[in-house]
Structure 1
Amino acid sequence: MKALSSPLLAVAVVLLCQAAHAHISVVSGPAFAGKSQELTFKVGHGCNGADTYRVEIRIPEGVTSVRPLDSVFGKAVVAKDAAGKVTSVTWTKAAADVLPGDTQLYKFTLSASLPNVPFTPLFFPTIQSCRAADGTESTTEWVGTTTEHNHGEDAGTTPTAEPAPSVFLYPARLPGWNKYTVDQHVHDLSVFNDAQIVWSGNAAYSPNPATLQLIEKEPNTQTLRELHPGTEIWVKY
């Protein structure tokens, strides 16, 4: 790690939030690899004007100790495989509670132990079912896992699939300097939006525009733009 000049140390950083791209999204904040925490899923709309009456969230591999919370829909129903692992959680409205139109925002929460694979996205394929006032039912499958950068390889489902809600698994951290070895391609350094600065060799990045300008002016220092597997980095939080 290169020693920082005093102007770099003097600049503070503001925590920024990642934009949610899916219509069903995880809104409970940062997720940390290898930790147990609550995840809250937001269903922002129904289907073509029809109210949502059922939501099924499928649990990806590596996620364990799943415990859902009941919602305004009522009791959460858990499905398990032969080994007893939770594979999905479903919330279903009573028929009498289905609204005549798409007017409500819904949230569903579960707690889980997340896999210890930092710097990777974790997708939760979700099936949304709606019922119109005339009884017509429709379903939207939010199962797409295609990432923006796939380097010529299949990163998941085709881009035409509706995007699955997901979280990006951040590494565990302590206040101050943290040392990591990145095992994944990281092309969007906004994953460090809550960091003060990131160093890799003689290259650095900061989400703070003022700090980034100082990095660009620092002698013998490059601007860090992406990370490749095997890269060692120092991050100050």
Structure 2
Amino acid sequence: MKAHSPPLLAVAVFLLCQTAQAHISVVSGPAFAGKSQELTFKVGHGCNGADTFRVEIRIPDGVTSVRPLDSVFGKAVVSKDAATGKVKSVTWTKAAADVLPGDTQLYKFTLSASLPDAPFTPLFFPTIQSCRAADGTESTTEWVGTTPHQHDGNTGTTPTEEPAPSVFLYPARTPGWNKYTVDQHVHDLSVFNDAQIVWSGNAAYSPNAATQQLIAKEPDTQTLRELHPGTEIWVKY
């Protein structure tokens, strides 16, 4: 790790905002590899003016010990694989009498789960959103896209599917400096938006604009833009 000048560290502060996410997104904060935690999914809108009446969240491989919370829709229904007992999906369905005449509400759904021990990787939860208009017409949006370009706003590529809600799995952390070896290719360093600064050799990145400007001015220091497998990094939280 490169020795840091006091002015550079003095302005390295937390930046808590998150990058733009799918219209169905995970809003419960950072997720940690190999840990059990609650995940909250936000459904920000209905379908073309129609109210959401059912949400099905599919559970990816490696996620275990799934236990959902009931919601304003009522009780959660868990679907399991008959052979293995693994939870395949969780569905919340609103009673017909509670469906609203229009798309006016924001909904949240929460489940607890044990996450796979795969740090520096994204974890996708394909989600099926069903809506019902005032005249009874039903429609469905499948938020199931899991290819990288669908979560990279800089590619200019039109997604073929709506992006699935996802979390980025971080390794365990402590306040202060943390040393990691990245086993995956990380193209988008905005996954470190809740860190103060990231160092790799003589390259650095910070989500804080003032700190990033100082990095650019620091002698013999490069701007860190992506991480390759096998890269050793230091991250300050």
TM over 0.5: yes
Report the 3-state secondary structure (helix = DSSP H, G, I; strand = E; otherwise coil) of the residue aligned with 1:101.
Answer: coil
Identity %: 90
Q: TM-score, normalised by structure 2?
A: 0.91
Report the 3-state secondary structure (helix = DSSP H, G, I; strand = E; otherwise coil) of the residue aligned with 1:149.
Answer: helix
Distance 1:104 1:75 in 2: 19
Q: Please tell me whether the aligned partners of residues 150 and 163 of structure 2 are also in contact (alpha carbons under 8 angstroms).
A: no
Gaps of 5+ in 2: none
Deviations 1:124-175 (A, max 9, x none): 101111112222211111111x444599999999921111111111221101
Q: Please tell me whether the aligned partners of residues 149 and 187 of structure 1 are also in contact (alpha carbons under 8 angstroms).
A: no
Report the 3-state secondary structure (helix = DSSP H, G, I; strand = E; otherwise coil) of the residue aligned with 1:121.
Answer: strand
Q: Please tell me whether the aligned partners of residues 25 and 165 of structure 2 are also in contact (alpha carbons under 8 angstroms).
A: yes
Moved more, 154-163 or 112-121: 154-163
Shift of 1:122: 0.9
Report the 3-state secondary structure (helix = DSSP H, G, I; strand = E; otherwise coil) of the residue aligned with 1:8.
Answer: helix
Report the 3-state secondary structure (helix = DSSP H, G, I; strand = E; otherwise coil) of the residue aligned with 2:108.
Answer: strand
Distance 1:88 1:127 in 2: 10
Shift of 1:216: 2.1
Moved more, 2-11 or 121-130: 2-11
Shift of 1:180: 0.5
Report the 3-state secondary structure (helix = DSSP H, G, I; strand = E; otherwise coil) of the residue aligned with 2:216.
Answer: helix
Deviations 1:172-214 (A, max 9, x none): 1101111111111112111112222211111112222222222
Q: Please tell me whether the aligned partners of residues 12 and 206 of structure 2 are also in contact (alpha carbons under 8 angstroms).
A: no
Instruction: Say what the alpha-carbon RMSD is for the aligned residues.
Output: 3.0
Distance 1:102 1:56 in 2: 18
Shift of 1:107: 0.9
Instruction: Note closer, same or farther for the CA distance 1:209–1:157 as it changes in structure 2 (3 Å cut).
Output: closer
Report the 3-state secondary structure (helix = DSSP H, G, I; strand = E; otherwise coil) of the residue aligned with 1:216.
Answer: helix
Instruction: Note closer, same or farther for the CA distance 1:151–1:104 as it changes in structure 2 (3 Å cut).
Output: closer
Instruction: Note closer, same or farther for the CA distance 1:213–1:132 as it changes in structure 2 (3 Å cut).
Output: closer
Distance 1:124 1:73 in 2: 20
Number of matched residues? 236
The residue correspondences of 1:175-214 to structure 2 (distance < 5 A) are 175-214=175-214
Q: Please tell me whether the aligned partners of residues 52 and 98 of structure 1 are also in contact (alpha carbons under 8 angstroms).
A: yes
Shift of 1:90: 0.3
Instruction: Note closer, same or farther for the CA distance 1:151–1:196 as it changes in structure 2 (3 Å cut).
Output: closer
Gaps of 5+ in 1: none
Q: Please tell me whether the aligned partners of residues 25 and 41 of structure 1 are also in contact (alpha carbons under 8 angstroms).
A: yes
Deviations 1:38-76 (A, max 9, x none): 111111111122211111000001111100000111110
Q: Please tell me whether the aligned partners of residues 151 and 163 of structure 2 are also in contact (alpha carbons under 8 angstroms).
A: no
Q: Please tell me whether the aligned partners of residues 119 and 170 of structure 2 are also in contact (alpha carbons under 8 angstroms).
A: yes
Moved more, 181-190 or 8-17: 8-17
Distance 2:37 2:164 in 1: 19
Distance 2:154 2:15 in 1: 32
